[in-house]
Each structure stands twice: as C-alpha cells, then as structure tokens.
Amino acid sequence: MHDWTPHRRDDGELLGWIHPSDDEWTAVDLLGRPVAGPVDWLDAEAALEEHGLAWLADPWMLEGEAEHPVRVRMVEVTPDRDGVPGRIVVKLDDFGDVSRPASDPWLLPWPIPGRLRPPLPGDPDGFTL
C-alpha cells in the first residue's frame, strides 16, 4: 500500500485509494476491493466518489460461522497502516433492535476475506426461520 494515494470526500472522509496500474490507475474502496481500473486518474476519482460509503451500512453475509451464511453489519473497517495489519469487525444483524443483547463481534482480516460478501438471492433474510 506504499504507493496507494488516499482519496477523500470534501468533508475529509476517506473513500478509498488510487494506485498505479501500469500506465493508468486503479481505484480501491475501503475494503480493499477494486472499484475501477485501469483508468485515468480522474475516472478513478469519479469511481470512488460514485461508489461512496453508503454500502458500508448495508447488510452483509458471513460464511463459515454456522450451517448457513449469517447476516451481519459492519462495525469497523480499519485498513493496514504503517505495518500494522488492518481488520474488519462485523456483528450479527440485530435490525436496530436496541432491546436485544449485543452479540459478540467477528474480527476478520483486511482486505475483505472471501467469506464476507453482499447478500445473494436465496440467502437467509433474517425474517425467515
């Protein structure tokens, strides 16, 4: 990540990074996933702006913790920094129910591991038993 340039919104919030890709550039989001590339610099910036951060609030599916994928929400995303490994913290999706006891979080490595993914058709939706 030494050659990754941070890209921030006007309010200073980090949207991701842009790094060299041969003679062009690749845009990478906060989870370490490519968003666009190889493209020119302005297209990489535009891709990160369009991708935004709202997707962090979406439900995600975590595989390997139960018989079926578990519906989770992001709690923390901390990229690798200065030689310190990053991490992604998720928790069981409680649908905003503050009366539920807090679930234990799952700590995952950064960048995003393959077992954490967006929901797919047929995944448990949290409402169906």
**Total-model pTM:** 0.85
Give dist(CA 74, CA 76) in Å, integer.
Answer: 6
Q: In what helix (H) or strand (E) does residue 19 lie, and over which residues does it extend?
A: strand 14-21
In angstroms, the Cα distances linking 74 to 7, 48, 105 are 21, 19, 10
pLDDT tens digit sequence for 70-117: 999 999 999 988 888 999 999 998 876 767 777 789 999 999 999 999
In angstroms, the Cα distances linking 37 to 10, 15, 34, 74 are 22, 16, 7, 26
CA dihedral 94, 114, 89, 61 (to 10 degrees): 0
Question: What average pLDDT does range 56-63 have in this prediction?
Answer: 94
Q: What tokens appear for 41 in the block?
A: 């610099």
In the chain, count H helices and then E strands: 1, 9
Question: What average pLDDT does range 124-129 have in this prediction?
Answer: 66
